[in-house]
Amino acid sequence: MELKKCFLYKAIPTTNTGEPFFGWIGGCPPACFDKEDTSLMGYLFYMTFILPNKQRQISIFLPEDWEIYLNKDRYPDCAIKVIEHDVSLEGITIELQNPVIIKHNIILYKECCDTETESEPFLVKLGGKPRLVQNKKFYYDQLEKDGYSFYMQIDEDGYPLDGLLKGNYPFCYGALYLYAKQNNSIVENIIAGYWQST
């Protein structure tokens, strides 16, 4: 099931208080990851996002070794971890911080039809169709055959112009595409489908 309505989110400095936020990029992962987890060995925290209407949250972790996720860039072998969990505040596990990303909060800034998003910059797009960096079917063909559909996109075109990165773009100025099993309002098994670079 494809959401016809889209929700667009952007990143703002954490010093901008007062606006409700739906997660954060950079910083420490949520507190639920403060307990030791060997499955995250060799991974760094990228971002976390509170899912609408679910009272749940997803956190995304990237392999510390860029070559790993460069070579495993798509389903069914995508090396990027997407973990769903209860809503949680930021934790204290600095060992999982990504040193190139300065923490920013994620806020909702626009609700619109999919057709209105074609040239609009965003950090996160939830719903609608993916805005592909490379329109090549081999990225999503197997996902669709296995019953997955596009859920959300994290796009580096929507990074703030200054203050977020102090190093290279994790996706080479590209985008990460998350897919899920969706049936009406039920969204399950959210995964990293693939990422693309420019």
- CATH number for the domain spanning 127: value is 2.30.320.10
Q: pLDDT per residue over 97-132, tens digit each?
A: 999 999 999 999 999 988 888 888 999 999 999 999
Selected residue with higher pLDDT from 52 and 78: 78
Q: pLDDT per residue over 143-161, tens digit each?
A: 999 999 999 999 999 999 8
pLDDT(2) > 70: no
Cα torsion at 16, 161, 113, 183 (round to 10°)? -80
pLDDT(49) > 90: yes
Residue 49, C-beta contacts closer than 8 angstroms, at least 6 positions apart: 9, 22, 23, 57, 58, 59, 60, 106, 124, 152
Which residue segment(s) compose the domain that 190 sits in?
5-196
**Total domain count for the chain?**
1
Least confident of 63-77, 139-153, 159-173: 159-173
Q: Are 134 and 147 in contact (CB under 8 A)?
A: no
For the residues 14-19, what does the mean pLDDT come to? 75
